């Protein structure tokens, strides 16, 4: 079967399809280990050319100077083009990422398109300038004379040239989460995806051509560490936005520092789900297992620390184990599969390393811990739960990025909040309780960018998402999303002359 977009053999630079100077690299299906395509690889010279194109388009092109409604009309066409290709994009994600079909349809494809819709909607409401109250001040040159009256207008302008570097786990979502607000704000962009999932970015070259995006506004390149470093260090770039690991985020921040670029980082997490003594054990266990199985645990916001009141912990462990046993692991080309593979063998080796650390630290393995029986191809691992975990263990402190849950007991609400906050991360959290008021009070005490109370997921299209501490800098989504990609300028003027 031919998978749409895997035939793309070119980069997209300055509005043109460009043959790669560094050859091609095989992209494999992580469930089958079969090659789905040979993706183009950009050279450092081509990344340099893409930066130059974005710089020229920002400094001298029409895009930053368009009215917001003009940009919105073009981005509306992007929504229509993506919706028309929705089924093809779903098939691509299943093959390129190895994500189960239900999760792919909703979280990997439909939600991101809704995010773009919300970005356009908010942008149309956004006031590009704001008048502050008039100010009456003495005339410093004639203190005894008439006073001055002055006004101030605050103008929001696009930040400039943006480098966007994205991860492999939700590639279409991550790419669109960069493209949407940056372009709506009037910025120009060079996008570099993960080498594991390049087609989810390269497809936007076809979309840009179809909707009539001006040349140089969106450039799509690929490549490795050297090409990524150029995007973070080049003085022609004004801002770097990155979604990925904490370690890479810190490296990007260091690379951007000499040229004082703005950095926008959505990084890792080790989120805690608190299950209070009064919680519905069946529901809480189903929620925990459901979260952990999403994309085989390859999600930064997934609650992987399960903080369970000791009075109900045995029942929770038994229930969660029974629910986990029902998850079908396998090739997500089969619509009945609930959990697909990890992205590559290197990621599976990392997960297995942490499982071994959990065992050696004294945690109790209650389910999983190995590879699914009878599966000879693909980078699969079992859904894994540990009980009797203490929060100082490596498996409770480090982001594993796999379907590995750590059950940690607690005896009081204060203890639960303390454990939840005892992490270098602060991206997400969850609370299960029948006392919604108490749950809300606890949510306010958790040092994280978002908290889900009793299964409430919010509407990501409308709510800001981001991290505290080492989980990142800045926010994505929400009513002020565009402002991450805008500068504020104050213009002072006299009134009456």
* The predicted structure's pLDDT at residue 450: 95
Work out the average pLDDT over 297-323.
Answer: 98
Judge whether 220 and 165 are in contact, CB under 8 Å: no
* The predicted structure's pLDDT at residue 340: 98
Is residue 264 scored above 90 in pLDDT?
yes
Work out the average pLDDT over 214-220.
Answer: 98
Q: 126 an active-site residue?
A: no
Domain ranges of the chain: 11-267+473-491, 271-459
Given 227, 246, 266, 352, which residue is catalytic?
A: 266
Please tell me the CATH code under which domain 271-459 is placed: 3.40.309.10
Instruction: Tell whether domain 11-267+473-491 is in CATH 2.40.50.140.
Output: no
Angle between helices 436-445 and 413-421 (to 10 degrees): 30
pLDDT tens digits, residue range 171-205? 999 999 999 999 999 999 999 999 999 999 999 99
* The predicted structure's pLDDT at residue 102: 94
What are the tokens at 184? Answer: 């709506």
Q: What is the Cα 248 distance to its own chain's centre?
A: 14
Residue 462, classified by CB atoms within 10 Å of its CB into exposed (0-12), middle (13-18) or buried (19+), is middle
Given 99, 300, 367, 406, which residue is catalytic?
A: 300
Is residue 349 scored above 60 in pLDDT?
yes
Q: 187 an active-site residue?
A: no
What pTM does this model have?
0.94
Q: Which long-range contacts (CB under 8 A, 24 or more apart) does 250-255 make?
A: 252/165, 255/229
């Amino acid at each position: 079967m031919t998978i749409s977009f895997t035939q793309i053999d070119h980069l997209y630079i300055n509005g043109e399809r460009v043959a790669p100077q560094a050859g091609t690299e095989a992209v494999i299906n992580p469930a089958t280990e079969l090659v789905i395509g040979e993706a183009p690889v950009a050279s450092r010279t081509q990344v340099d050319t893409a930066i130059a194109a974005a710089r020229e388009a920002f400094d001298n092109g029409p895009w930053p100077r368009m009215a917001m409604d003009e940009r919105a009309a073009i981005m509306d066409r992007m929504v229509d083009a993506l919706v028309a290709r929705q089924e093809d994009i779903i098939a691509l994600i299943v093959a390129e990422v190895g994500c189960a079909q239900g999760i792919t349809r909703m979280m990997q494809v439909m939600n991101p398109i809704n995010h773009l819709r919300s970005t356009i909607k908010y942008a149309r409401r956004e006031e590009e300038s704001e008048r502050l109250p008039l100010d009456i001040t003495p005339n410093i040159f004639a203190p005894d004379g008439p006073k001055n009256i002055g006004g101030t207008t605050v103008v929001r302008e696009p930040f400039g040239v943006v480098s966007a570097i994205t991860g492999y786990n939700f590639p279409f979502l991550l790419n669109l989460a960069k493209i949407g607000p940056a372009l709506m704000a009037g910025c120009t962009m060079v996008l570099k995806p993960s080498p594991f999932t390049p087609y989810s970015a390269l497809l936007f070259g076809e979309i840009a051509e179809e909707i009539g995006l001006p040349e140089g506004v969106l450039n799509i390149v690929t490549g490795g560490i050297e090409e990524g470093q150029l995007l973070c260090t080049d003085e022609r770039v004004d801002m770097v936005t990155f979604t990925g690991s904490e370690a890479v985020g810190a490296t990007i921040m260091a690379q951007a520092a000499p040229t004082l670029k703005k950095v926008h980082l959505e990084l890792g997490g080790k989120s805690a789900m608190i299950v209070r003594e009064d919680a519905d054990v069946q529901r809480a266990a189903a929620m925990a297992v459901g979260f952990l199985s999403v994309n085989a645990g390859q999600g930064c916001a997934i609650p992987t620390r399960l903080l369970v009141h000791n009075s109900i912990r045995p029942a929770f462990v038994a229930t969660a184990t029974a629910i986990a046993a029902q998850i079908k692991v396998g090739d997500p080309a089969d619509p009945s599969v609930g959990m697909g593979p990890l992205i590559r063998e290197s990621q599976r080796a990392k997960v297995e390393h942490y499982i071994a650390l959990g065992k050696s630290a004294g945690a109790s393995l209650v389910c999983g811990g190995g590879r699914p029986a009878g599966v000879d191809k693909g980078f699969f691992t079992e859904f894994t739960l540990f009980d009797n975990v203490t929060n100082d263990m490596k498996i409770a402190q480090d982001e594993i990025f796999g379907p590995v849950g750590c059950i940690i007991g607690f005896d009081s609400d204060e203890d639960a909040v303390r454990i939840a906050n005892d992490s270098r991360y602060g991206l997400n959290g969850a609370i299960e309780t029948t006392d919604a008021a108490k749950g809300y009070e606890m949510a306010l005490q958790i040092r994280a960018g978002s908290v889900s109370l009793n299964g409430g997921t919010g509407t990501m299209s409308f709510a800001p998402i981001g991290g505290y501490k080492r989980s990142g800098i800045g926010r994505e989504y929400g009513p002020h999303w565009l402002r991450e990609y805008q500068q504020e300028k104050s213009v002072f003027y006299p009134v009456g002359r």
